[in-house]
Amino acid sequence: MTTNPQTIRLTTAQAVIKYLSVQHSVTDGVRRRLVPAALGIFGHGNVAGLGQAFDEMADDMPFIQGRHEQYMAHISTAFAKASRRQAVLAVTASIGPGALNLVTAAGLATVNRLPLLLLPGDTYATRHQGPVLQQLEHPTEADATVNDAFRPVSRFFDRITRPEQLLTALPQAMRVLTSPTDTGAVVLSLPQDVQSHAYDFPADFFAPRDWKIRRPLPDPAEIEEVAELIRAARRPVIIAGGGIHYSDAHAALERLAGQAGIPVVETFGGKGAVTKDEWWQVGGVGLEGNFASNVLVKQADLVLSVGTRLTDFATGSQSIFEYDDVTFAALNVVDADTRKQGATGILADARLGLEALAQALEGHSTPDAWQDTVQTEKARWAPIRTQWLDADTPYNAEDHPHAPVTAAVLTQPQLIGIMQEHARSGDTVIAAAGGPPGDLQKVWDATGNRHCHLEFGFSCMGYEIAAGMGVRLAEGNNDNRVVTFIGDGTFLMAPTEILTAAQEGLNVTVIVSENHGYQVIHRLQMNRTGKEFGNEFRYRTAGGSVAAADAPKARLDGEYLKVDLRQIAEGLGALAIRATTAAEVRDALASTRDTQGPVVIVVPTVPHVDLPGGDVWWDVAPAEVSEQEWVRTLRADYEQARGRQRWFG
Ligand SMILES: Cc1ncc(C[n+]2csc(CCOP(=O)(O)OP(=O)(O)O)c2C)c(N)n1
Ligand SMILES: [Mg+2]
């Protein structure tokens, strides 16, 4: 006979918040709150349920009010990334549009394998009231709601139609959040009526609970197999991914690379995996990588990828591995990633796997010839990089006849050069879309803990400003500067959370490279269609309206749009500066380093002046048929280049 357990009567919403406030993650013995705070925007779908619960439990679960659901969720995702997946911020939204605004952010988190906890409202479970405001009312699938759109972009989805379902749903949600293999967006969809329904929950359910973030041990046989491949290799390369950061495997990676003399190149997610400036630290690889990294990978006879999914940007759409007999090894905590490229796999935590490999390879070193090649290629790239980043030698328009004349004095690479000068150990620079992430991947020196937080799994415009806030929330307002680097298109898409940064007193700097357009796509377009269309920010000409009779002739080919980004930023509560010359940018960065709250520095940059490409191909296909004869040429070039694409399995 069991006695009646002690119970506590709470609403569904109260139970969710009470439960979340006592969950902890444990990593290497360090225990911390798993969900230390929440963000939200209320509507009728969550104000009476979750809104009431947040208010009643505000001391245990601090609440941040945001401006747009998607960007609130990006704040949370960046918080999780900066916390090395050991903590998340919950995000709540109302039903219908509020909930759907979270879907993009769920996709971003899931693709990047970052934990994100979403608590959207959902339409009534009881249905007494008929279709409610913002309900989908699907004609043939009566139980479908807009929240079903979360399913493909989440790693865990549950619709809580009765309070007691929380007893199984919440522990599963915590498991997924803290699982290195399964993590991603976790969605607890909470019908608006159910949020307010009460239940007698077992009191024990709310006892503090720890979720250990596991480090799966490598199988010694798998370690030996890969160690043997490394011993036999003449030109091995390590491709380091985001898993190095999440597993805190930097020291283990450095030990293996240094001891065995293996060059390390980094994916976008793995940028900064090597924290030391050593001869075997080569930097970004792939389409937006630097020459040195790419030349080495092209020649490699063994590629060991660690903690990476190997997307097309890293592999050059499977064209970068040029050596005929190249072989692959992969160390990953996710089974599927250990088997890509037909690799010899190690299924394990990155740190433990690298430590075991270093131990197995004690006394082994790569041939001198390969070490010489690494240093030669690095030495060839270094002066090119320095020249492009040099902001003190004025940009010469004659070198770039295709660049339009604007008010800009600096090129984007020169702006990055100044940012690099100002970056101190502990600072973080953030980018996700447009030219900035590729440029940083190519030239940012992230050694010495000058962190480079790149979101390139989803490369989502609008992540960046929110991400600066998430990183800042993870760090607290310390002396390090968090700098978000974006284009003008990205600023215009999502400046709204600057106001939230002002509201919360978050010290973040946003640097906007104003180049009058979606210029990174313009560049791609010129390569694959040969003609500008719809990417530059220009007024419509010839008729002035698409509705006019001569609409077909009305194109976006007038003057550049007049827009005052600085004023928008100021209006949102930032200390906003427009800086045009190198001296002005330096001064703006130096004088705002300790500024409280958000800072926005708008810097005009010369359009169409880009860092040299990494000499890696990308599979983006020009039209197979076209009346435009230059497109036929581009297509023929593409078909020829496609011959470099290889299959590994
Ligand atoms: C949400 C979203 N929409 C569209 C894209 C496709 N896209 C990638 S970069 C880019 C242009 C970004 O423009 P801007 O921020 O001005 O940077 P620039 O390309 O000029 O460096 C676009 C539209 C994207 N990555 N994310
Ligand atoms: Mg732009």
| Closest listed ligand to the CA of 486 | 1
Average pLDDT value for residue range 523-542: 94
Average pLDDT value for residue range 24-46: 98
Residue 308 lies in a domain: yes
Give the number of the atom of ligand 1 that is nearest the alpha carbon of residue 436. Answer: 21
What are 627-646's pLDDT values in tens digits?
Answer: 999 999 999 999 999 999 99
Length of the chain counted residue by residue:
649
Average pLDDT value for residue range 579-606: 98
Lowest mean per-residue pLDDT among 271-280, 418-427, 529-538, 550-559 = 550-559
Q: Please, are residues 573 and 502 in contact by the beta-carbon 8 Å criterion?
A: yes
The closest residue, in CA terms, to atom 10 on ligand 1 is: 434
Closest CA to 533 of 518, 514, 545: 518
Query: How far is the centre of ligand 2, averaged over its atoms, from the C-alpha of 164 (Å)?
Result: 50
With tokens 């607890």, the residue in question is: 188
Query: How far is the centre of ligand 2, averaged over its atoms, from the C-alpha of 83 (Å)?
Result: 30
Q: What is the CATH number of the domain that holds 325?
A: 3.40.50.1220
In sequence order, the β-bridge partners of residue 157 are: 187
Residue 522 lies in a domain: yes
The closest residue, in CA terms, to atom 12 on ligand 1 is: 434
Q: How far apart are CA 285 and CA 277, in angstroms?
A: 17
Whole-number pLDDT of residue 649: 85
Tokens of 9: 């009567």
Query: How far is the centre of ligand 1, averaged over its atoms, from the C-alpha of 222 (Å)?
Result: 42
**Count of structural domains within the chain:** 4
Pocket test for ligand 1, best of 111, 415, 518 (most atoms within 8 A of CB): 518
Query: How far is the centre of ligand 2, averaged over its atoms, from the C-alpha of 489 (Å)?
Result: 5
pLDDT over 70 for what percent of the chain?
98
- Looking at the fold, whether 457 and 573 belong to one and the same domain comes out as yes
Q: Please, are residues 279 and 261 in contact by the beta-carbon 8 Å criterion?
A: no
The closest residue, in CA terms, to atom 9 on ligand 1 is: 434
pLDDT of 546 over the 80 cut: no
Q: How far apart are CA 644 and CA 647, in angstroms?
A: 10
What are 443-477's pLDDT values in tens digits?
Answer: 999 999 999 999 999 999 999 999 999 999 999 98
Q: How far apart are CA 515 and CA 522, in angstroms?
A: 11
- Looking at the fold, whether 25 and 93 belong to one and the same domain comes out as yes
Residue 385 lies in a domain: no
Lowest mean per-residue pLDDT among 203-207, 286-290, 419-423, 645-649 = 645-649
Query: How far is the centre of ligand 1, averaged over its atoms, from the C-alpha of 241 (Å)?
Result: 23
Give the number of the atom of ligand 1 that is nearest the alpha carbon of residue 458. Answer: 25
DSSP 201-225: EEGGGGS-EEEE---PPPPHHHHHH
- Looking at the fold, whether 276 and 239 belong to one and the same domain comes out as yes
Average pLDDT over the chain, rounded to an integer: 96
- Alpha carbon dihedral 343, 349, 354, 359, in 10-degree steps, equals -110
Report residues whose beta carbon is within 6 angstroms of any ligand 1 atom.
Answer: 433-435, 459-462, 486-490, 515, 517-521
- Looking at the fold, whether 296 and 317 belong to one and the same domain comes out as yes
Average pLDDT value for residue range 119-123: 97
Pocket test for ligand 1, best of 521, 538, 605 (most atoms within 8 A of CB): 521
Average pLDDT value for residue range 502-510: 98
For 282, half-sphere exposure in the C-beta direction (CA atoms, 13 angstrom radius) is 34
Residue 549 lies in a domain: no
The closest residue, in CA terms, to atom 23 on ligand 1 is: 518
SS (H, E, C) 444-474: CCCCCCCEEEECCCCCCCCHHHHHHHHHHHH
The closest residue, in CA terms, to atom 5 on ligand 1 is: 461
Q: Please, are residues 361 and 259 in contact by the beta-carbon 8 Å criterion?
A: yes
Give the number of the atom of ligand 1 that is nearest the alpha carbon of residue 522. Answer: 19
- Looking at the fold, whether 58 and 192 belong to one and the same domain comes out as yes
Listed in sequence order, the residues at least 6 apart from 562 whose beta carbon sits closer than 8 Å to its beta carbon are none
- Looking at the fold, whether 170 and 310 belong to one and the same domain comes out as no
Listed in sequence order, the residues at least 6 apart from 5 whose beta carbon sits closer than 8 Å to its beta carbon are 202, 203, 204
Q: How far apart are CA 267 and CA 235, in angstroms?
A: 19
The closest residue, in CA terms, to atom 13 on ligand 1 is: 518
Handedness of CA 545, 551, 557, 558 (dihedral sign): negative
Query: How far is the centre of ligand 2, averaged over its atoms, from the C-alpha of 75 (Å)?
Result: 22
Last residue of a domain, one of 147, 179, 212: 212
- Looking at the fold, whether 506 and 527 belong to one and the same domain comes out as yes
- Looking at the fold, whether 252 and 364 belong to one and the same domain comes out as yes
Give the number of the atom of ligand 1 that is nearest the alpha carbon of residue 432. Answer: 25
pLDDT of 549 over the 90 cut: no
- Looking at the fold, whether 181 and 70 belong to one and the same domain comes out as yes
Q: What is the CATH number of the domain that holds 121?
A: 3.40.50.970
Residue 551 lies in a domain: no
With tokens 């880009």, the residue in question is: 610
Pocket test for ligand 1, best of 288, 488, 520 (most atoms within 8 A of CB): 520
Q: Please, are residues 469 and 497 in contact by the beta-carbon 8 Å criterion?
A: yes
Listed in sequence order, the residues at least 6 apart from 251 whose beta carbon sits closer than 8 Å to its beta carbon are none
Whole-number pLDDT of residue 466: 98
What are 138-181's pLDDT values in tens digits?
Answer: 899 999 999 999 999 999 999 999 999 999 999 999 999 999 99
Strands 23-27 and 30-33, sheet pairing? antiparallel
Q: What angle do CA 134, 139, 140 make, to 5 degrees?
A: 130
Q: Is residue 3 very low, low, confident or very high in pLDDT (cuts 50, 70, 90)?
A: low
- Looking at the fold, whether 339 and 237 belong to one and the same domain comes out as yes
Give the number of the atom of ligand 1 that is nearest the alpha carbon of residue 104. Answer: 1
The SS3 assignment for 586 reads: helix
Residue span of the structural domain in which 60 resides? 7-212
Q: Which H/E stretch holds residue 582?
A: helix 582-591
Residue 543 lies in a domain: no
Q: What is the DSSP letter of 340?
A: G
Q: What angle do CA 365, 369, 372 make, to 5 degrees?
A: 95
Last residue of a domain, one of 360, 380, 400: 380
Burial of 470: CB neighbours in 10 Å, binned 0-12, 13-18, 19+: buried
Last residue of a domain, one of 193, 212, 231: 212
Residue 417 lies in a domain: yes
Closest CA to 223 of 365, 360, 366: 360
Give the number of the atom of ligand 1 that is nearest the alpha carbon of residue 491. Answer: 15
Average pLDDT value for residue range 43-63: 98
**The one-letter amino acid at 216:** P
Residue 614 lies in a domain: no
Handedness of CA 568, 507, 63, 475 (dihedral sign): positive
Q: What are phi and psi of 615, to 5 degrees?
A: 60, 45
Query: How far is the centre of ligand 2, averaged over its atoms, from the C-alpha of 615 (Å)?
Result: 23
Tokens of 567: 């004023």
- Looking at the fold, whether 195 and 303 belong to one and the same domain comes out as no
- Looking at the fold, whether 299 and 267 belong to one and the same domain comes out as yes
Q: Please, are residues 13 and 102 in contact by the beta-carbon 8 Å criterion?
A: no
Number of other residues whose CB lies within 10 A of the CB of residue 140: 5
Whole-number pLDDT of residue 1: 47
